[in-house]
Structure 1
Amino acid sequence: MTQLSIALPRLNATGRDDFMVSPTNDTALALVDQWPDWPDRRLALVGPEGAGKSHLAAIWAEESGALRLRARDLKAVDAPDLADRPLVVEDVDRGVDEEALFHLWNACAQKGNGLLLTGRGMPSDWPVKLADLKSRLSSLTPAVISDPDDMLLSVVLLKLFADRQLQVKPALIGFLLPRMERSFIAARTMVEALDRESLARGVPVSQSLARTLLEG
């Protein structure tokens, strides 16, 4: 009998109970949890792509009542109103209106509201040219998420499969770990490839399918 494979909607779980704590992110979590006692009520959340920055930012936003927006969507004219509540600005390293972020920084400081910035790499290395803004970013306390260890990468893979409503056996995770790059983005790419191949072949995600995919 041919098994039907149906593309199911992705479910991105972003609650605190869904955040997977390990030695690679526990310090970052502890720093975020120090709110509202951050230095000057500001913090940078940094780490590689797919590390869980958005998840941790979502946890803080839920608990602090913060608004979340992408750095690319920030406009200077909006800064005074945005600063009326705690705020998350994500992916600053990917590009931002520097004047807008500078005005937002000052407005948040004047109103005493929290500001959480996220990005890859340290804030001092973000591609910012405005000297006053670069100086402010360099002063931020960084909450750093590191590349995953085996334990965290295993749980990340399981979560990525679960987000796609795919149930997999633990043996598949054990098979994948020594055969893939140790990074969050590699885990995401692997799960996407297996899901896509499963749908194309009309078979479940399994160790056999993973072997076929990896061995070409």
Structure 2
Amino acid sequence: MARQLSFDLPAMTALGREDFFVSPANALAVAMISAHVWPGGKLVLSGPVGAGKTHLAHVWAAETGGRIVAAAELTEEMIPDLAAGPVAVEDVPAISGDGEREALLFHLHNLTLAQGHALLMTGQSAPGFWNLTLPDLTSRIEGAQHVALEPPDDALLGAVLAKLFIDRQLYPGPEVIAYLVKHMDRSFEAAARTVAALDRLALAERREITRALAARVLNEGAAGERN
């Protein structure tokens, strides 16, 4: 059969509260985000790639009227405007060793809290492993309340897979998701790789996404199988 040309069209990610599946792996983080009031006015949210940090940041911003900015995109001109309300700074470890942006985040931290607004910061690991070089910023961040998104249990992994498919307007049967949960690596990153690979293969071969196609993707190493 001739292979169909495939195109990497962007998936439309749903980021509303109703799109976030709560399980024991993330229930504490969801509760902290929902509280809106944190000790000292600040919270650090950590978790692996794809765990839902950005999703929860958007939920929080929508509920509080907050702004979201990537740490690596901070500029001096942005600080007064950002500090005028609740603000979420994503992927703080990305500025490790960048003295200018670490100083900007320190200024944003102080100004936001001084004006009585909340500050949310995210990163993949616990803040003690962010390797920031500005001592004052490090101490402020490590003094914040910290909550982690844990690796997914079966229920959460299944829900994440379903959401990733829906974001791509794909609707495989429940047997496909059950098979993937049982056989793939238990990680959010592997889930994203697997769904992307299934999308490409199904499009290229003009096939429905079936259990057999899922087995083929895993066997071909698109995402490592769970031991």
Using the size of structure 1 for normalisation, the TM-score is: 0.93
Question: Distance in 2 between the 1:214 and 1:124 partners?
Answer: 35
The 5 A counterparts of 1:80-119 are 80-95=80-95, 97-119=101-123
How much does 1:75 deviate?
1.8
Question: Distance in 1 between the 2:115 and 2:26 partners?
Answer: 30
Equivalent pair of 1:67/1:85 in contact (CA under 8 Å)? yes
Equivalent pair of 2:184/2:218 in contact (CA under 8 Å)? no
Structure 1 residues 161-204: Cα deviation after superposition (integer angstroms, max 9, x where no partner): 00000010011112112221101111011101111111121212
Aligned residues: 215
Structure 1 residues 58-80: Cα deviation after superposition (integer angstroms, max 9, x where no partner): 00000100011111101234222
What residue in structure 1 maps to residue 225 of structure 2?
none
What residue in structure 1 maps to residue 28 of structure 2?
27
How much does 1:206 deviate?
1.3
How much does 1:6 deviate?
7.9
The 5 A counterparts of 1:142-181 are 142-181=146-185
Letter of the 1:10 counterpart: A
Question: Distance in 2 between the 1:109 and 1:19 partners?
Answer: 28
Out of 164, 188, 196, the position equivalent to 2:192 is 188
What residue in structure 2 maps to residue 136 of structure 1?
140
Greater CA deviation, 128-137 or 193-202? Answer: 193-202
Structure 1 residues 93-129: Cα deviation after superposition (integer angstroms, max 9, x where no partner): 2226100100101111221111100111111211200
How much does 1:52 deviate?
0.5
**Uncovered stretches (5+) of structure 2, i.e. residues with no partner:** 221-227
Equivalent pair of 1:148/1:184 in contact (CA under 8 Å)? yes
Question: Distance in 2 between the 1:148 and 1:105 partners?
Answer: 31
Letter of the 2:33 counterpart: V
Question: Distance in 2 between the 1:77 and 1:58 partners?
Answer: 23
Question: Distance in 1 between the 2:55 and 2:18 partners?
Answer: 11
Report the 3-state secondary structure (helix = DSSP H, G, I; strand = E; otherwise coil) of the residue aligned with 1:43: strand
Letter of the 2:17 counterpart: R
Question: Distance in 1 between the 2:83 and 2:145 partners?
Answer: 20
Question: Distance in 2 between the 1:108 and 1:214 partners?
Answer: 47
* 215 and 78 in structure 1: CA distance in 2 versus 1, 3 angstrom threshold: closer
Greater CA deviation, 201-210 or 153-162? Answer: 201-210
